[in-house]
Amino acid sequence: MIALLDFLLLTFLIVCAIAVARTKDLISAVVIFAAYSLVMAVIWQMLGAPDIAITEAALGGGVTSFLFIATISKTKRME
């Protein structure tokens, strides 16, 4: 069961990484990047590194996404 969950999380990470690179809409790319960061936090937790998992969730999923969205809102939204 754990191996299946590992495989699904890894597959989701690869799909997110490709989707971020190929997405033309900036807001969509930020949302996908936030999902990538949150899944990475789950993986860090599964690997037994809760301190890194909390940092990844807070910085990668929260602060960085907020800063990206704030920056995009201050500029012209281009695709």
Q: How confident is the model at residue 26 (pLDDT cuts 50, 70, 90)?
A: confident
Q: Is the dihedral of CA 48, 32, 70, 75 positive or negative?
A: positive
The C-alpha atoms of residue 43 and residue 5 are separated, in whole angstroms, by 10
Residue type, 42: V
The C-alpha atoms of residue 63 and residue 33 are separated, in whole angstroms, by 12
Q: What is the pLDDT of residues 31-79, one digit of tens each?
A: 999 999 999 999 999 999 999 999 999 998 889 999 999 988 888 765 5
Residue 25's pLDDT is what? Answer: 87
Residue 15's pLDDT is what? Answer: 95
Residue type, 11: T
Are 62 and 50 in contact by the 8 Å Cβ rule? The answer is: no
Residue 45's pLDDT is what? Answer: 93
All structural domains of the chain with their residue ranges: 2-74
- Rounded to two decimals, the pTM is 0.85
Residue 77's pLDDT is what? Answer: 63
Number of residues that this document lists for the chain: 79
